[in-house]
Structure 1
Amino acid sequence: MRYLIAGLVVLNTFVMARVDGGMSLNVGPVDDKRFASVRHLNMDYDVSYMASRYKDRGQWEKRAAEIREQVLGAAGLLPMPEKCPLNARIFGKIDHGDYTVEKAFFESYPGFYCTGNLYRPKGKGPFPAVLNTHGHWADGRFVDNESSSIPTRAANLAKQGYVVFSYDMIGFNDSKQVIIPEKHDALGDRRNRLWGVSLGGLQTWNSIRAIDFLQSLPEVDPNRIAVTGSSGGGTQTFLVTAADPRITVAAPVCMVSAHMQGGCRCENPPNLRIDTNNVEITAVAAPRPLFLVAATGDWTKNTLEIECPAIRSIYKLLDAEDRISCVRFEAGHNYNKDSREAVYTFFARWLRGLDQPNPVKEIPVKLDKREDLLCFPEGKLPDGSLAPNAIVDLLIERSEKQLDANRPKNRETLAQFRKLYEPALKRALSIPSVFKPVVELRGSVQVDDGEVQKLVVRDDVRGAAVPGLLWKPKNRVPVSSANRIAILVSDEGKQGFLESGGDRAGLLIAKLVEKGWYALAIDVFNSGEHVAPPGSPERDYDKNFFDTYNRTDTAERVYDILLVLESVYNGVLSRELGLSLFGEVALVGTGKAGLWCLLAAPFGKPAKLVVDAAQQDTSDDNLLLQQFYVPCLRRVGDFRTAMVLVSPCHLLIHNTKGKFDTSWAESGYKASGSADRLRISAERLGVEEISAWLSGTH
């Protein structure tokens, strides 16, 4: 999308006109890999690509930045929320001679608490610090058995000279402000995901705020912060490491795997693993020191042969191979004594500068009673605490306030809005940075007003395939003039631009072809003749963390629109047709496709965009949940953000009927100084009016 292109998106309902009859305009079957499989947490991911796809430091650093954004976006943290005061409380000190243990909690959001225990060595410091996460052991931060002992780990780290914060996963011990059902599917309903509210997002935010907490302690060296944990705590470890560059050393234990990604809602915020996996996410730690601990008796049994070599290839790109290590123990799922001692030794090297050949041995310690370590032993939270699950309403309210506060008023605030919300919307829609379209021509037929070319636009990277019909005008412009193309999208597929019989062009196509336009009607994902074949896997957004691993239909349709646009922009389509580069591009759609195209437009960069709002009230959550569901779409400002970001292209929005709110478009265009490029009509405009608007000089 690097060429100077005039783009156009048109959305309306058309009166049909005959072009010719008797021919079949079906493109025929297409092999779209997206219908063949649904990605999920327990499938085998081939991570060998990591050693060959990224050729140099620059390529990986660009990819790592994308993954970091993806992790933050999945957690509902794009744009980054305003950080409230921690209002930390540290109390109930227990003295163990060379270290102390205290109760500690702080507000990660107003009235929402991150709770735990603070272990501190005696002395002034500055000391390195460790975030000590726990997994799904029933006792949480108090677990103490052969396979894992969180208090023993924390106490030994404190004795070795680290400040340690052992904190609760949400729903464990003192953290009772989210109700956790038996299946650990807390906050998992679709509306919460629409708003970017998730258990995994809250835990990632708590981890980020826990770094703030540690850095606020005068005895902590803010440049030496590590994180470690096993199982679900291992997931927290690599997610916060990817999300926050303040983590300087990471040690995920018994978690990083190419064939099991994590089975709890807290490990599966929506959009997190689209086009990626835990192994690649973990590699974002590079070039920071990373230690992988594996076990023969769980899903990390292949770490030395599969996961570690893949991640090591990234460290090699960054000349940092000495900073990644891995070890595997003969054990079941664990963070046992052997694993702990291995981590102690790794931390000693990279946090304390003690590169010693012998492992750091664990010292037996006296563990404190659970009731002496609980922040709220009687279950009573401080005054002003949020009620159970009230965090959802708070986050929605804060999200809307943040959006309103950034509503652009001038060019300066518009630039700030773009900086905050363009990457946020891009991540919500799971738009890749690179498209690699290939065009397959499938023969042509003659019609009254020209020629119809059947074709398929493919993306061999993802296996996407978009069938289309291209009408070629009879009276084509000279090569020296700019060829013009209109890309037509309807929620009915190509049929939306044809007569009911499917073999005759509609009036809009006829008008465009008459004026010398090429007109390309496409079937985006799951529309027209491009629907899931019988026997395809179920696409149920509410099962098996579907939207953690897969794009929803709306997101796939946005993807297809951008794929086809890129085939025009980079010259692939024109070369296949033997034409010069298209100089003016039109993207035309009807019905629901109006809003699909509006979401695509900020990234497709059209110069002209006509949106049939289809009388949709997009402030209604139920409408988005049923017809336009994309996780985190509300969190990033939905269609309001898209209307701002698409400026200053020429924009016509029609068929609003007082239901579709266009005020954000008005704000964006006024701020960009291009209010004259915006036209809004409450009524549905006809083909003549739209054609006149498109053909005029604006």
Structure 2
Amino acid sequence: MRLKSPIAQPPMLIATISLLVVFLATVVTCAQEPDPQYAFLEFVRREAAEMRRADKPPATLTDWERHRTALKQRLQEAWGEFPAEPCPLRPKTMGTLARDGYRVEKIVFQTLPDVWMTANAYVPDRQEKVPAVLCVHGHWRGAKQDPVVQARCIGLAKLGFFVLSVDAFGAGERGLTKALGEYHGEMVAATLFPAGLSLCGLQVYENMRAVDYLLTRPEVDGRRIGITGCSGGGNQTMYAGAWDERFLAVVPVCSVGNYQAYLGAACCMCEVVPEALRFTEEWGVLAMTAPRALRVISATRDAVQFSVEEARKSLALTRPVFELYGLESSLDHAVFEASHDYNREMRESMYGWMTRFLKDSGDGSPIAEPDLQTEEPEALRCFPGDTRPDDFMTIPRFAAVQARRLVAQWRPPSSLEAWQPRRDAALQGLARCLFGGEPPRPAPSTQVVVTSDGEGRTITFAPEPGLTLVARQRHHAAPTTRLAIVLDLDGAEKAEQSQLATTLEHRGWSVITLDLRATGKLAYPRDRIGRAIDHNTAEWSLWIGRPLLGQWVIDVRRLLDALVEHDGRLPEEVLLAGIGPAGLVAIGTAALEPRISRVATSDTLASYVTDAPYEGQRLGTIVPGILRDAGDVNHLAALIAPRRLVIGGGVAGDGRPLDVAALDAGYAFTRQVYDVKDAAGELRVLTASKAAAIVEGLE
């Protein structure tokens, strides 16, 4: 049942209430120490609220058009650049099903070079040209083949619309394997980030190519095209509808909410727009649809990020933009007493909206759904069974092609003069990737508190306002001349118990371990999704444009500040060692932090380039644009020269240990830089990660 959506409150009143809520939340936070496992979530929420504190609707159409242009540019940067020229579609029909009043064509077409989109075209039995609707599926296991998705396609076709239903990249028939039912998020989609791409952006581009295909069909009236989808498909609908002005009617279902509501929730990587909260809230994207027609459909029992309440927050700032165009009636919010779904009542609401704006008929009221019968999913496949080509382009394979193109632009320097400008550019690019530019300005004090006992000392400090970290230095005896900070993203206890920490102590190093933010005892309790141990905290960090790797670099640098603040200086030698994925924290920190005199890694990722999903890695270390702006792991390692660097073994993206030949080839660029720095002996690349060999290499 559709519920009456209340009249939105004036935007200024909503903004005032929001500020009051943020203020009261801050008072409560200050009065009560948060649970350490939830401290990071509260930190991210405060950062986001501050970023969007001044949001307000535009006062004039000129103001909006100026804002829209800037917003479109920022979205393009966040998604990654689209090709300057589209490749040929080269469509192929793989089969046809004749049905009562329509037929289903099983088709494939090329969206990017060697990237094929699988699709079903539902073609009504009409002689005249008809409007078209692009149907995008969301996270139903069957993708375009799923009965929930089929229902709206058949309903639209029987009502006289040409329908194109497509499989998103990595879903349906386009997964890693040939079977249906794969999930394209977490460490599958993450392979795109280092090359400066995102699954969200690629979906927008591919849906634009789907429109290109629709325009080749003689049955389609190319002036009348709409788009609809639910859940993740609703997100695709919102973004493609905002971006591509060829869509005249846009109907996202069970997907519209508020970006800040994602902070605390788990969502698919296809819904993430890196840095989005730095430049907009969701209302800005919705408003880009104006002056075209937008109906948002919400369910009363949906998850918080798609809830009616969060959608109303966004629409309260979207509505004034439609009013500036004098088209208030082109925006509608339909609320249904339902769970997360695209049920019959919702479909009938969508039919009415499409009929009004694509057929110039009716007032947008629901249209009854014709009787329909869905197909067995296998019957709709373009590549039934295991007939899909073995070399079919998957997300990781595509990501690897783009990544290798970027890496190929790096040439080993022939001289120090040739290296220096490239080094400066890489350092600037690294800072931009990790911090969004300059790192956050540190507070005047780390608020360091040091307590000692018979086994060492505990160092408590604040890396940023609202966060507290605790480091443990065992067997501390002043003055310490050699300090080793040992990192493990599984936590301080694991780092302290590691063979590397024990061996360093036996060789006279004073060892410090700590839980970096959102790790160890500070880890969010419901963080893991699939292969990604730190999925949710890493994802929230991307929304605010602060990858976890950059935040962990800040934690280490602020630990050094705390030691200086308390002890007056740092020891003569400061070693930073990272175990597993923490090796990337060690390399990234040392590249930007000259106070680190020695660096060691153990079984660390040797390259961001992979044609398979990341295994055994942290999503927080997979940084958007790092290959484009700063380089691969070996290039980052070269920024440490001429300081001592020991690489203790290494792994590929899929988690496989690398042999001596692969390690030598992987770090050849790093070795060349050390050579031109006249420091060849300071780089040690070991084939194994044995602690004794690593520590020996540090001496």
Same fold (TM over 0.5): yes
Alignment of 1:93-108 (within 5 A): 102-108=105-111
Is 1:166 equivalent to 2:165 in the alignment? yes
Aligned to 1:211: 208
Instruction: State the distance in 1 between where 2:559 and 2:68 align.
Output: 25
Question: 2:200·2:271 contact (CA, 8 Å) conserved in 1?
Answer: no
SS at match of 1:407: coil
Partners of 1:103 and 1:117 within 8 A in 2: yes
User: Structure 1 residues 622-631 or 321-330, which shifts more?
Assistant: 622-631
Q: Deviations over 1:85-120 (max 9, x none)?
A: 532125878999999864432245737542211558
Following superposition, the deviation at residue 525 of structure 1 comes to 0.8
Residue of structure 2 in register with 1:551 after alignment: 538
Higher RCO, 1 or 2 (CA under 8 Å, sep at least 6)? 1
Q: Is the 8 A contact 2:200 2:269 kept in 1?
A: no
C-alpha distance in 2 between matches for 1:422 and 1:224: 46
The yes-or-no answer on 1:394 pairing with 2:397 is: yes
Provide the C-alpha distance between the structure 2 equivalents of 1:567 and 1:242, rounded to a whole number of angstroms: 44
5 Å-filtered alignment, 1:222-621, equals 226-238=226-238, 250-256=250-256, 268-269=268-269, 272=272, 280=281, 284-289=285-290, 290-296=294-300, 298-299=302-303, 303-310=307-314, 312-313=316-317, 325-331=332-338, 333-336=340-343, 338-340=345-347, 342-343=349-350, 358-359=363-364, 362=367, 370=375, 379=384, 385-386=389-390, 391=394, 394-395=397-398, 397-399=400-402, 401-408=404-411, 435=440, 437-438=442-443, 439-442=445-448, 456-460=461-465, 463=467, 465=469, 489-491=485-487, 523=514, 525=516, 531-532=520-521, 538=525, 541=528, 547-551=534-538, 556=548, 558-562=550-554, 565=557, 589-592=576-579, 595-600=584-589, 605-606=592-593, 612-614=599-601, 616=603, 618-619=605-606
Report the counterpart of residue 87 of structure 1 in structure 2. 90
Which amino acid is the alignment partner of residue 595 of structure 1? L
- Root-mean-square deviation (CA, aligned residues, Å) is 7.2
Q: Distance in 2 between matches of 1:372 and 1:539?
A: 33
Q: Note closer, same or farther for the CA distance 1:104–1:56 as it changes in structure 2 (3 Å cut).
A: same
Q: 1:406 is paired with a residue of what secondary structure?
A: coil
> Residues 260 and 117 (structure 1 numbering): CA distance in 2 closer, same or farther, change over 3 Å?
farther
Q: Distance in 1 between matches of 2:216 and 2:116?
A: 24
Report what 1:512 is aligned to. Answer: none
Cα distance in 2 for residues equivalent to 1:188 and 1:432: 27
Q: In structure 2, do the counterparts of structure 1 residues 31 and 395 end up closer, same or farther at CA, with 3 Å as the change threshold?
A: farther
**Whole-angstrom distance in 1 between the partners of 2:426 and 2:694:** 37
Once residues 495 and 303 of structure 1 are traced to their aligned partners in structure 2, the CA distance between those partners, rounded to angstroms, is 44
Aligned to 2:23: none
Aligned to 2:6: none
One-letter identity of the residue aligned with 2:38: A
Hey, what does 2:152 align to over in structure 1?
Answer: 149
Tell me the equivalent position of 1:15: none
- Structure 2 residue 120 is matched with structure 1 residue 131: no
- Closer, same or farther: CA 683–144 of 1 in aligned 2, 3 Å: closer
CA contact (8 A) 2:171 2:183 kept: no
Normalised TM-score (structure 1): 0.58
How far does residue 681 in structure 1 lie from its aligned partner after superposition? 2.4
**Structure 1 residues 594 and 330, CA, compared in 2 at 3 Å: closer, same or farther?**
closer
SS of structure 1 residue aligned to 2:584: helix
8 Å contact from structure 2 (residues 584, 621) kept in 1 = no
Retained in 2: the 8 A contact 1:104–1:118?
A: no
**Distance in 2 of aligned mates of 1:539 and 1:300:** 16
1:152 CA drift (Å)? 1.4
Residues 263-284 of structure 1: per-residue CA shift (max 9 Å, x gap): x99x62399499989x956754
CA shift, 1:208, in A, is 3.0
Q: How big is the shift at 1:210? A: 3.5
Report if aligned partners of 2:535, 2:619 keep a CA contact under 8 Å in 1: no
C-alpha distance in structure 2 between counterparts of 1:414 and 1:157, whole Å: 64
Partner residue, 1:23: none
Secondary structure of the 1:441 match is coil
Alpha-carbon contact 1:154-1:166 (below 8 Å) kept: no
Amino acid at match of 1:652: R
Say if 1:399 and 1:635, in contact at 8 Å, map to a contact too. Answer: no
Name 1:24's counterpart in structure 2: none
CA distance in 2, matches of 1:665, 1:617: 15
1:253 Cα deviation from its structure 2 partner: 0.8
The residue matched to 2:643 in structure 1 has which SS? strand
The CA distance in 1 between the partners of 2:239 and 2:212, in whole Å, is: 19
Contact 1:156–1:362, Cα closer than 8 Å, also in 2: no
Q: Distance in 1 between matches of 2:46 and 2:575?
A: 37
Report the alpha carbon displacement of residue 167 of structure 1 after superposing the two structures with TM.
Answer: 2.1
Instruction: Supply the AA of the counterpart residue of 1:214.
Output: V
Counterpart Cα distance in 1 of 2:521 and 2:262: 27
Residues in 2 aligned to 1:35 and 1:453: alpha-carbon distance in whole angstroms: 20
Sort the Cα spacing of 1:201 and 1:445 in 2 relative to 1 into closer, same or farther, 3 A: closer
Aligned residues with identical type, % of pairs: 15
Q: Check 1:124–1:257 CA distance in 2 against 1; reply closer, same or farther (3 A cut).
A: same
Q: Which moved more, 1:225-234 or 1:452-461?
A: 452-461
Contact 2:396 2:613 in 1 (8 A): no
CA distance in 2, matches of 1:407, 1:425: 19
Q: Partners in 2 of 1:32 and 1:537 — Cα distance?
A: 12
Q: Identify, as 1 or 2, the structure richer in helix.
A: 2
Count of equivalent residues: 591
Question: Which residue type is aligned with residue 37 of structure 2?
Answer: F
CA separation of 1:547 and 1:350: change in aligned 2, threshold 3 A:
farther
Q: 1:432 to 1:531 in 2, by over 3 A?
A: farther
Q: Distance in 2 between matches of 1:91 and 1:206?
A: 23
Give the Cα separation in 2 of the matches to 1:380 and 1:194.
28
Over 3 Å counting, the alpha-carbon distance change for 1:678 and 1:206 in structure 2 is farther
Q: Is the 8 A contact 1:79 1:421 kept in 2?
A: no
Per-residue deviation, residues 136-190 of structure 1 (Å, max 9, x unmatched): 66876577789953221355473xxxx6422246798876874558xx5546796
SS in 1 for 2:521: coil
2:209 counterpart letter in structure 1: D
What amino acid is aligned across from residue 379 of structure 1 in structure 2? P
Cα contact 2:138–2:233 (8 A) shared by 1: yes
2: CA distance, partners of 1:347 / 1:287: 19
